[in-house]
């Protein structure tokens, strides 16, 4: 009998024992279950009818007044909001699935800037519903509780900044309305103070980008109920990574074979600029100019930069499952995913992905202690190497060398250290006071509400917007989060849980202190960061559940054996 058939037989025996051990339901319990099932069906039917009626009442007039597309979009959004509020956990799963495909769906629907917020249709109603549920059940909302102080400090500072800086500037006249007008002040004529954008709306969006997804820690804490849910979570992310990477390779293949033109044949600077007109299969703007060795692919996201960060986070996801999964099948799937991530990091043309993917895998190997577990480490390394060799065999060796030479050349021409220093110097030179220059004024997503200052590294952006005090409070909060996550991860004893926690913690550490570009302003890292933190903080609870289940199973087995012994003794005495 093979090992697989033995495992299946054990699983069947275990299921049979569980069914045998569980007592049969009495009539009252059966009636209660039927009543509960009937109530669920009634609730679902009522929600469907309500959502359809509201969608028709609002969507039809909007279709007649403006456009059928607007009416349909509003109707669909309302239906999703209603269902997300009613089924918050299902909405969070939908949110996790939707995030990697946001860029593709946005441009399929026309590419409107407002669609950048489409993923929040799942997130915000689910968040509100879970908060109400926890208040009703008197469960903690801030998890872990120790994080509450530093979170409150940065939250209060951001609210003060929003009101004192952004809202105050909103009352200034627009620069167009006072163009050419001056006032006499301090002995000279000066231009009238004015605003070039909707500063308060920019501030709200900047606040949402900075702290809006922090509640995902709370949401994930109550989403991941037990170990099977954790394994499902890891497997779902691995599946999403594989699907997106396959689509990314298909995009590259279509560009290479000429099925998509890309930016071929453009002139001058257009050969080096990402263009929405060059979109291919999935995702947004891209560059594909092989005549000048210029490739920047967006995968399923809105830009190549987002795709690069997705590959970095997917490397963490696949690595965690490759080492921590209990299923051999899913370990192999994770290795396949890791191989696809490596190949996409090469063909995408993004310098960040090319260097950061192997770097973060090396960090995880060292910091999580997997390198010390040679018996388990070497077979995985061998399998990963074999898969990489097979994967790269489909690529021209000269192409791989070109990608490497291009990345090194760009590093030498524009050293990241000089770029980071330049960004910090800009933020320091342009300080706007003790509260900074205002939330959102350097956030790329806020461009929809007017001009912004384009600061291209995350820490410099926070310093520019919040000033020295706000920057210090924010870094204290992030450092506190990383410290609490580390302490939680180190407290775990279960190897599976510890493996997941260690890998996720390395991503938190990497993103928190990496000064290059703005990962936390970028999907999916701006979402995954807080989700992974929530998973880490829930793992001690899951470990406790597993220990209690083992103790209970041991007690049940002991009682069963005692009953069997008594039965045998009775049989002997009767004979």
Q: Which SS3 state, helix, strand or coil, does residue 299 take?
A: coil
Higher per-residue confidence, 574 vs 445 = 445
In 10 A of CB 422, how many CB atoms? Answer: 14
Could you tell me the pLDDT band of residue 377, with boundaries at 50, 70 and 90? Answer: low
Handedness of CA 354, 360, 362, 365 (dihedral sign): negative
Q: Which SS3 state, helix, strand or coil, does residue 282 take?
A: strand
At residue 137, the pLDDT reads 92
- Mean pLDDT along residues 277-283: 90
Tokens 């001058």 belong to which residue?
A: 268
Return contacts of 443-448, CB within 8 angstroms, 24+ apart.
443/202, 443/205, 443/206, 443/209, 443/210, 443/521, 444/518, 444/521, 445/116, 445/205, 445/209, 445/521, 446/201, 446/202, 446/205, 446/206, 446/209, 447/113, 448/113, 448/114, 448/205
Burial class (CB within 10 angstroms; exposed 0-12, middle 13-18, buried 19+) of 153: middle
Could you tell me the pLDDT band of residue 316, with boundaries at 50, 70 and 90? Answer: very high
Higher per-residue confidence, 257 vs 43 = 257
Length of the chain: 575
Higher per-residue confidence, 133 vs 7 = 133
Higher per-residue confidence, 315 vs 186 = 315
Whether pLDDT at 467 is above 90: yes
Distance of alpha carbon 514 from alpha carbon 313, whole angstroms: 14
At residue 17, the pLDDT reads 44
At residue 187, the pLDDT reads 66
What mean pLDDT, rounded, does the chain reach? 84
Whether pLDDT at 494 is above 80: yes
Q: How are beta strands 287-289 and 294-296 bridged, if at all?
A: antiparallel
Q: What's the pLDDT tens digit per position in 388-427? A: 666 665 566 666 677 777 777 777 777 888 888 999 999 9
Per-residue b or e along 285-315, where b marks 16 or more CB atoms closer than 10 Å to that residue's CB: bbbbbeeeebbbbbbbbbbbbbbbbbbbbbb
Residue 93 CB partners (closer than 8 Å, separation 6+): 223, 236
Q: What's the pLDDT tens digit per position in 225-251? A: 999 999 999 999 999 999 999 999 999
Q: What's the pLDDT tens digit per position in 106-129? A: 888 777 777 778 899 999 999 999
Strands (E) across 253-393 are located at 287-289, 294-296
The answer to whether 103 touches 302, Cβ cutoff 8 Å, is yes
Per-residue b or e along 523-544, where b marks 16 or more CB atoms closer than 10 Å to that residue's CB: bbbbbbbbbbbbbbbbbbebbe
Distance of alpha carbon 102 from alpha carbon 116, whole angstroms: 8
Nearest to 252 by CA among 345, 348, 346: 348
Chain-centre distance of CA 378, in angstroms?
Answer: 30
Nearest to 519 by CA among 478, 569, 472: 478
In 10 A of CB 556, how many CB atoms? Answer: 13
At residue 490, the pLDDT reads 93
Residue 446: both structure tokens together: 């806020």
At residue 386, the pLDDT reads 66
Could you tell me the pLDDT band of residue 12, with boundaries at 50, 70 and 90? Answer: very low
The answer to whether 503 touches 319, Cβ cutoff 8 Å, is yes
Quick one: what percent of the chain has pLDDT higher than 70?
A: 85
At residue 566, the pLDDT reads 56
- Mean pLDDT along residues 154-165: 95
Could you tell me the pLDDT band of residue 6, with boundaries at 50, 70 and 90? Answer: very low
Tokens 């480490």 belong to which residue?
A: 377
Could you tell me the pLDDT band of residue 539, with boundaries at 50, 70 and 90? Answer: very high
Phi, psi (rounded to 5 degrees) for 190: -130, 155
At residue 550, the pLDDT reads 83
Higher per-residue confidence, 389 vs 540 = 540
Whether pLDDT at 213 is above 70: yes
At residue 366, the pLDDT reads 87
Higher per-residue confidence, 528 vs 556 = 528
At residue 24, the pLDDT reads 67
Distance of alpha carbon 521 from alpha carbon 505, whole angstroms: 19
The answer to whether 319 touches 367, Cβ cutoff 8 Å, is no
Whether pLDDT at 522 is above 70: yes
At residue 466, the pLDDT reads 95
Distance of alpha carbon 489 from alpha carbon 476, whole angstroms: 20
Q: What is the pTM (predicted TM-score) of this model?
A: 0.88
Higher per-residue confidence, 224 vs 266 = 224
Nearest to 240 by CA among 107, 308, 332, 333: 333
The answer to whether 101 touches 310, Cβ cutoff 8 Å, is no
At residue 509, the pLDDT reads 95
At residue 374, the pLDDT reads 57
- Mean pLDDT along residues 318-346: 91
At residue 395, the pLDDT reads 62
| Cα dist from 498 to 231, 370, 385, 569, whole Å | 13, 11, 25, 46
Phi, psi (rounded to 5 degrees) for 180: 90, -10
The answer to whether 537 touches 221, Cβ cutoff 8 Å, is yes
The answer to whether 158 touches 210, Cβ cutoff 8 Å, is yes
| Cα dist from 45 to 37, 52, 74, 87, 353, whole Å | 12, 11, 21, 13, 47
Higher per-residue confidence, 56 vs 356 = 356
Quick one: what percent of the chain has pLDDT higher than 90?
A: 44
């Amino acid at each position: 009998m093979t090992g697989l058939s033995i495992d299946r037989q054990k699983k069947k025996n275990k299921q049979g024992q569980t069914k045998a051990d569980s007592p049969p339901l009495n009539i009252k319990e059966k009636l209660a279950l039927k009543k509960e099932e009937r109530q669920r069906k009634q609730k679902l039917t009522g929600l469907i009818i309500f959502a359809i009626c509201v969608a028709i009442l609002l969507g039809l007039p909007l279709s007649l007044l403006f456009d059928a597309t607007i009416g349909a979009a509003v109707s669909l959004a309302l239906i999703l909001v209603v269902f997300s509020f009613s089924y918050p956990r299902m909405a969070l799963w939908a949110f996790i699935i939707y995030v990697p495909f946001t860029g593709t769906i946005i441009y399929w629907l026309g590419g409107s800037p407002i669609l950048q917020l489409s993923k929040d249709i799942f997130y915000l109603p689910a968040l509100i519903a879970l908060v109400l549920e926890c208040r009703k059940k008197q469960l903690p909302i801030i998890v872990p509780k120790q994080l509450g102080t530093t979170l409150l400090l940065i939250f209060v500072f951001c609210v003060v900044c929003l009101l004192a800086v952004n809202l105050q500037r909103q009352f200034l006249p627009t620069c167009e309305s006072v163009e050419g007008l001056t006032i006499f002040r301090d002995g000279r004529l000066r231009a009238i103070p004015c605003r070039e954008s909707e500063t308060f709306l920019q501030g709200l969006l900047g606040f949402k980008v900075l702290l809006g997804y922090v509640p995902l820690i709370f949401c994930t804490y109550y989403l991941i109920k037990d170990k099977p849910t954790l394994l499902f979570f890891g497997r779902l992310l691995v599946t999403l990574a594989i699907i997106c990477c396959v689509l990314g390779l298909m995009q590259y293949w279509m560009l290479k074979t000429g099925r998509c033109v890309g930016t071929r044949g453009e002139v001058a600077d257009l050969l080096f600029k990402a263009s929405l007109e060059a979109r291919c299969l999935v995702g947004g703007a891209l560059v594909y100019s092989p005549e000048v060795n210029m490739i920047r692919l967006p995968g399923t996201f809105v830009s190549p930069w987002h795709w690069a960060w997705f590959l970095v986070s997917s490397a963490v996801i696949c690595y965690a499952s490759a080492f921590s999964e209990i299923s051999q099948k899913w370990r192999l799937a994770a290795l396949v995913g890791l191989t696809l991530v490596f190949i996409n990091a090469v063909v995408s043309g993004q310098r960040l992905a090319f260097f950061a993917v192997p770097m973060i895998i090396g960090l995880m190997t060292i910091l999580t202690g997997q390198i010390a577990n040679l018996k388990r480490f070497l077979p995985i390394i061998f399998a990963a190497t074999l898969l990489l060799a097979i994967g790269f065999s489909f690529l021209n060796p000269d192409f791989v060398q070109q990608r490497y030479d291009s990345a090194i050349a760009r590093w030498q021409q524009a050293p990241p250290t000089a770029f980071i220093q330049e960004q910090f110097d800009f933020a320091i030179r342009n300080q706007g006071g003790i509260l900074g220059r205002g939330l959102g004024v350097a956030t790329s997503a806020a461009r929809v509400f007017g001009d912004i200052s384009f600061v291209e590294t995350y820490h410099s952006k926070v310093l520019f917007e919040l000033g020295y005090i706000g920057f210090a409070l924010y870094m204290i909060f992030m450092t506190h989060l990383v410290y609490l996550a580390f302490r939680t991860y180190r407290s775990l004893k279960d190897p599976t849980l510890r493996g997941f926690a260690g890998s996720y913690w390395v991503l938190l550490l990497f993103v928190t202190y990496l000064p290059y570009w703005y990962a936390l302003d970028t999907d999916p890292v701006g979402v995954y960061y807080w989700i992974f933190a929530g998973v880490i903080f829930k793992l001690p609870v899951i470990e406790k559940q597993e220990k209690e289940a083992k103790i209970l199973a041991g007690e049940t087995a002991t009682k069963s054996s005692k009953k069997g012994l008594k039965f045998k003794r009775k049989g002997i005495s009767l004979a």
